[in-house]
Amino acid sequence: MRIGHSTDVHRLDIGEKLIIGGVDIPSTLGSVGHSDADCLLHTVCESLLGALALGDLGEWFPDTSDEFNGISSSLLVKKVMVKVKELGYKVINIDSTVYLEEPKLSNYKDQMRLNIANLLDIDINQVSVKATTGEKVGIIGKKEAIMAESIVLLEKK
């Protein structure tokens, strides 16, 4: 068994897209990043990498590379999952939390769970996505940033 954890933060700005867990969410503020800035899928990737001591997201997909400019984070997860499977591991479960003041994510969490389940080749019941606010405090509460965390459990096949 291997456990991996990751945290990611992205600045929010007017006119940017807000993509979380592969879901395009209507919002006046979106996350800023080199790829599609999907904070949640970035933590999914990095928790998988961390569980297997394979480095971090920046090593695998550097923001200095034009190859990854604007890339869908779903593709990044797929690339990492190829390595996970090559090394003989499978995902047992993943637990994630998104920190965002608004918009509320309750109507989108099931689609995020389904997207992540499909990317990790597991059942939706093995995926947890929770959402919380910053209670109007700090960079989350003041709508300056979005943050996500993920913890994954892997098992050798």
Please spell the DSSP secondary structure of 101-148, one letter per residue. SSS--TTTHHHHHHHHHHHHTS-GGGEEEEEE--TT-HHHHTTSEEEE
| CB burial of residue 107 (10 Å; 0-12, 13-18, 19+) | exposed
The CA distance from 130 to 99, in Å, is 9
Domain ranges of the chain: 2-156
Percent of the chain residues past pLDDT 70, beyond the cut: 100
Each residue's pLDDT tens digit, 98-152 = 999 999 999 999 999 999 999 999 999 999 999 999 999 999 999 999 999 999 9
- Residue range 2-156 forms a domain whose CATH class is alpha beta
Report the chain's mean pLDDT, rounded to a whole number.
97
Lowest mean pLDDT among 21-25, 31-35, 144-148: 31-35
pTM of the model: 0.96
